[in-house]
Amino acid sequence: MKIGVAGYLPIDWRKIDTAATRRVREAGFSGAHIFIERPLLAELSELVRVKQAYDEAGLAVAQTNGWYECLIHPDEATRAEGIKGLSQLIRIGRVLDSCFVYVRPGSINPNGHWWPHPDNHAPRTFDRLVDSIKQVCRVAETEGMVLGIEGHVVSTLDTPQRVRDLLDAVGSPALKFNMDPVNFVGTVRDVHDTTRVINSLFDMLGKDMVALHAKDCAIQDAHVVHIVEVPPCTGTMNYELLMRRWVEWCPEGYFIIEHLPDEQVPAALQAIRRKADALGIPLE
């Protein structure tokens, strides 16, 4: 099983050098993500230099992420800009020889791509997402790149079935699923029964998974309901089941630690290592 990390590198991708990538490799990771703030403004020469920094450290670009306009926006000009930006990010992913390019479904909420809005769940919004993803998949197929789209209970892709619906509607071999089980924990019952959440994701989407975001969840003693992210193996997520099913379905995919400050990353990695050792799962 491959372990990667989102973070642990300079936020500004232009500041990533060999010293930074070697730090990540020496910490025990075989891959790390990269975030391109403005894909349409990225210079090829800088991308090549950063790729060399990864190569010199023996570190893979486990995931290419970046900012682009909302793919489900009701304003067609804005949505077109999102498609344009993601298409360029796909080309950047090819230059970086990235394992995959990360795709977010977006939100109609003006405050951010992962914030709730009632229209995120409307049929017409799903139709816009299908159209946007079909367009970027044509670019991905031309570039020979894999896309990994993520879902969330507040997004258009709010259930495993909805993700399955998208993959089937788009019908492209370039489109895969970036699994984040915490994102599908939306109720008190889910927090206390993550086994059900995990199994539903693998049963419906296991054959299309490309990577996994490793984090955990917990519920706080606060009104009304406060479900929070916590470091891996410290919450209610059934990591034994999660890791067993992951190596069954996607042994070559990256298990990516994310959403942690740098000082908490080593402990998260050690927790996953201990769990893998107990399960007899070898880590790269």
3-state helix, strand, coil in the chain (%, to 5): 50, 15, 35
For residues 12-32, average pLDDT: 97
The H or E element that residue 178 is part of is strand 175-179
Q: Report which of 22, 114, 127, 65 is spatially closest to residue 254, judged by C-alpha positions.
A: 65
Amino acid at site 160: P
pLDDT given for residue 47 in this prediction: 97
For residues 70-96, average pLDDT: 98
pLDDT tens per residue across span 26-66: 999 999 999 999 999 999 899 999 999 999 999 999 999 99
Matching residue, tokens 């399955």: 164
Q: Which residues have a Cβ under 8 Å from the Cβ of 195 and sit 6 or more positions away?
A: 238, 241
**Statement: residue 267 has pLDDT above 90:** yes
What one-character-per-residue DSSP string does 76-98 give? HHHHHHHHHHHHHHHHHHHHTT-
Q: In this structure, are residues 113 and 151 in contact, taking their beta carbons and an 8 Å threshold?
A: no
Burial degree of 255 (CB within 10 A; 0-12, 13-18, 19+): buried
How many helices (H) and strands (E) would you count in the chain?
9, 10
pLDDT tens per residue across span 150-182: 999 999 999 999 999 999 999 999 999 999 999
- Measured in whole angstroms, the distance separating CA 206 from the mean position of its chain's CA atoms is 15
Beta bridge pairs of residue 21? none
Q: Report which of 219, 202, 147 is spatially closest to residue 178, judged by C-alpha positions.
A: 147
Q: Report which of 32, 35, 87 is spatially closest to residue 62, judged by C-alpha positions.
A: 32
For residue 284, name the pLDDT band (cuts at 50, 70, 90): confident
For residue 96, name the pLDDT band (cuts at 50, 70, 90): very high
Distance between CA atoms of residues 105 and 165, nearest Å: 14
Q: Which domains does the chain have, with CATH numbers?
A: 2-279 (3.20.20.150)
HSE-up (13 A, CA, CB side) for residue 237: 26
Distance between CA atoms of residues 145 and 137, nearest Å: 9
Task: Record the tokens describing residue 125, joined without a space.
Answer: 């919004």
Q: Report which of 111, 70, 93 is spatially closest to residue 13, judged by C-alpha positions.
A: 93
Report the chain's mean pLDDT, rounded to a whole number.
97
The H or E element that residue 65 is part of is strand 60-66
Q: In this structure, are residues 64 and 93 in contact, taking their beta carbons and an 8 Å threshold?
A: yes
Task: Record the tokens describing residue 277, joined without a space.
Answer: 């050792």
Distance spanning both ends of the chain, measured CA to CA:
6
For residues 189-203, average pLDDT: 98
For residue 277, name the pLDDT band (cuts at 50, 70, 90): very high
pLDDT tens per residue across span 110-153: 999 999 999 999 999 999 999 999 999 999 999 999 999 999 99
Amino acid at site 122: A
